[in-house]
Amino acid sequence: AEAGMTAVSISASAIDLLTAERIILNFMGRLCGIATQTSEYVKLLAGTGVAVYDTRKTTPGWRRLEKYATRCGGAVNHRNGLHDAILIKDNHLAACAATLSGDDGSDVIGEAIEKSRELIQDVVAAGNPIDAAMPIEIEVDTLEQLQIALSHHPDIVLLDNMSNDQLRNAVALRSDVAPEVQLEASGGVTHETIRAIAETGVDRISVGALTHSAKSLDVALDWTSLGSP
């Protein structure tokens, strides 16, 4: 796309066009900005084989639209909500530590993964319409936590705010213990850092900035009367 190009043509009555003009431009500016921002991140990973994923850090009420925009930019959608994938985060582990494993919270990571599997099986057995192969992902921020998580073979492990050296060590550990598990890097990813993160060997990188920091494009509606060139 280039400045000045026509993105879309609309034909309607003058009253309808003028009534809807600002709403149309707000939607297009916001969503085109997200798609453009996403495309920039995706291009930075060219040749690495690493996928860019979006997050749930979206504008309330706009998630489907904003995730559509990230797809247009070349990213892959992460889960749309709490219903289509299990992501066990640090706050879940903190809340469940006492109830799952006693006061010391030992191996709460492993128990959380196993309890998630049991939950999916129970929900499917009860006839509820969910995917029996719903992915289970767990967030860790140390290599020690990763070691525990890998021993329970979740589908994905999210490596939160790890340095590039830690990420490389995490990839080596995964390859030794559970090569089928995907590794996702996340946390403060920018244009300047994403390529180096990809080169550590992770499988995917989730970027909240695709949606929460995208700048709206300057989109305008220019009037053309019938019969004009």
Active site residues: 22, 57, 89, 139, 160
Task: List Cβ<8 Å contacts ≥24 apart for 18-23.
Answer: 21/221
Give DSSP secondary structure letters for 131-194. -TT--EEEEESSHHHHHHHHHT--SEEEEES--HHHHHHHHHHHHHH-TTSEEEEESS--TTTH
Which residue type, as a one-letter code, is found at position 193? Answer: T
Which of 41, 88, 46, 32 shows the shortest CA–CA distance to 209? 41
Dihedrals phi, psi of 151, to nearest 5 degrees: -70, -15
Longest Cα separation, the chain: 78
Report yes or no: 160 and 186 within 8 Å, Cβ to Cβ.
yes
